[in-house]
Amino acid sequence: MRSDRTLTIVTRTLAVISAAIVVLVVGFLLRESTPALRQIGVSRFFTDASWHPRSGEFNLTPMIVATLVTSLGAIVVAAPMGIASAVFVNFYASRRLAAWHRTLIELLAGIPSVVFGLWGLVVLAPIVATFGGSGQNLFTATIVLGLMVLPTVALLSDAAIAALPREWIQGAAALGIGRSAIVGWIVLPGARRGIGSGIVLALTRALGETMAVLMLAGNIVEMPSSLLSPGRTLNANIALELGYASVGHRSVLFVSGLMLMLVVSAIIFLVSRQRGTRRDR
């Protein structure tokens, strides 16, 4: 059994390495952030006059707001459409149409964000521009971001709805309850856990998205005053400025990255906790 011992040792070591990567990532983020945290201090990220790194101003607030607006806005777009899509595929479409629809949604999920950004830039932005401005603003970015995370909501809701016991639906139909009422009163409440985790996962994806938003939100760092204002998210900011940042500036960028990661990890941790307790029951 010696080769079995070797196998166990080797595979467990590999597993530990895999698990350790996350620790490594956090570690390096902390290491690079420490100069900024120590010399500039967290409160200044919210109280400085503006974001002008070269003059030593490091207010992150406009970018935090832009990040929240685009991510939450993306959910506002993606959630109803994704849930409707899942309902469509399970209750309104013929079997062939449903199969096609599912395939198309999977395709949508695979399109790279730069391609979304490119399309948004060339096709969508000019359309939005007819309402004023250059078309490169938070609104365009939010719509495209919504399209990008829609498959996540759709696919997870679809799975949750398909997993409902068929007796519930047959029983309701046998009572003469109409299709829309079955969907509204029985299916959606029954599948709400799966749909909920689809939405949360979509939110984490939206928060983590960089390229499409970078290409579409216009790149002015200021507090957005309306949906048609341009803005810059934290991710886009890192992508734009890391290349030429001086040491102090670079450190602040790492702080913003750390912030993002902590928020996303917290959400994921809470969700996996909840899912874990459900499994134990």
Partner 1 sequence: MLITTENVSVSYNGRTVLRDATIDAKPGSILGLVGPSGCGKSSFLAALNRLTEIIPGASVSGRIRFDGRDLSTVFPSSVDLRRHVGMIFQKPNPFAMSIRRNIELPLREHGIRDSRQLREITESVLRDVGLWDEVSDRLEQSALELSGGQQQRLCIARALALKPQVLLMDEPCSSLDPLSAERVEQLIDSMRGQYTILIVTHNLAQARRLSDQIAIFWIQDGVGRIVEQGDTEEVFNNSANPIVSSYLSGRQG
Partner 2 sequence: MIDNGTVATAQHDRREFCVTVAVWCAAMSVIGVLIWILVDIAIGGLAEIDPGFLVEDVQNAGREGGIGPIILSTGLILVVCLTVSIPLSFGTAIALTERVGAETWFARNVRRSLDVLAGVPSIVFGLFGNAFFAMTLGLGYSILSGGLTLACMVLPILIRTSEQAIRAVPAEYRYAAAALGMKRTTIIFRVVIPVAMPTLAAGVVLSVGRALAETAALIFTSGYVARTPGSLLDSGRSLSVHIYDLAMNVPGGGSRAYATACVLVAILLGINMATSLLLRMTGLRHRSETGAAC
Of residues 142 through 171, those in contact with partner 1 by CB under 8 A are 165, 167-171
Hey, what's the torsion of the CAs at 158, 164, 170, 172, to 10 degrees? Answer: -90
Residues sharing a CB contact under 8 Å with residue 217, sequence separation 6 or more, in sequence order: 66, 70, 136, 137, 138, 140, 141, 230, 231, 232, 233, 236
- For partner 1, which is the closer residue by CB, 131 or 168? 168
- Of 1, 19, 175, 247, the one binding partner 1 (CB under 8 A) is 175
* Inter-residue contact 214 to 236 (CB < 8 Å): yes
Asked if 247 touches partner 2 (CB under 8 A), the answer is no
Using CB under 8 A as the binding rule, the residues of this chain from 77 to 96 that contact partner 1 are 95
Using CB under 8 A as the binding criterion, the count of chain residues that bind partner 2 stands at 89
Using CB under 8 A as the binding rule, the residues of this chain from 180 to 239 that contact partner 2 are 180-181, 183-184, 204, 207-211, 214-215, 235, 238-239
- For partner 1, which is the closer residue by CB, 158 or 209? 158
- For partner 2, which is the closer residue by CB, 115 or 226? 115
The site map against partner 2 for 152-171 (x = CB under 8 A) is --x-----------------
Q: Which does 193 bind (CB under 5 to 8 A by kind): partner 2, partner 1, none?
A: none
Asked if 99 touches partner 2 (CB under 8 A), the answer is no
Please write down the HEC assignment for all residues of 102-152: HHHHHHHHHCCHHHHHHHHHHHHHHHHHCCCCCCCCHHHHHHHHHHHHHHH
For residue 49, the minimal CB distance to partner 2 (Å) is 26
Alpha helices per DSSP H over the chain: 2-39, 44-47, 61-87, 95-110, 113-119, 125-129, 138-162, 166-174, 179-181, 188-190, 192-208, 211-216, 234-241, 247-280
Q: Which does 95 bind (CB under 5 to 8 A by kind): partner 1, partner 2, none?
A: partner 1
Asked if 276 touches partner 1 (CB under 8 A), the answer is no
Residue 52, SS3? Answer: strand
* Piece in contact with partner 2 (CB under 8 A), picked from 35-43, 47-55, 159-167, 268-276: 268-276
Q: Provide the b/e sequence for 248-273 (b: ≥16 CB within 10 Å).
A: ebbbbbbbbbbbbbebeeeeeeeeee
- Of 26, 68, 93, 177, the one binding partner 1 (CB under 8 A) is 177
User: Helices 138-162 and 61-87: crossing angle, nearest 10°?
Assistant: 40
Using CB under 8 A as the binding rule, the residues of this chain from 185 to 224 that contact partner 1 are 185-186, 189-190
- Of 40, 84, 164, 227, the one binding partner 2 (CB under 8 A) is 84
Cα 259 from Cα 36, distance rounded (Å):
13
Asked if 278 touches partner 1 (CB under 8 A), the answer is no
- Which positions lie near partner 1, rule CB under 8 A? 95, 165, 167-178, 181, 185-186, 189-190
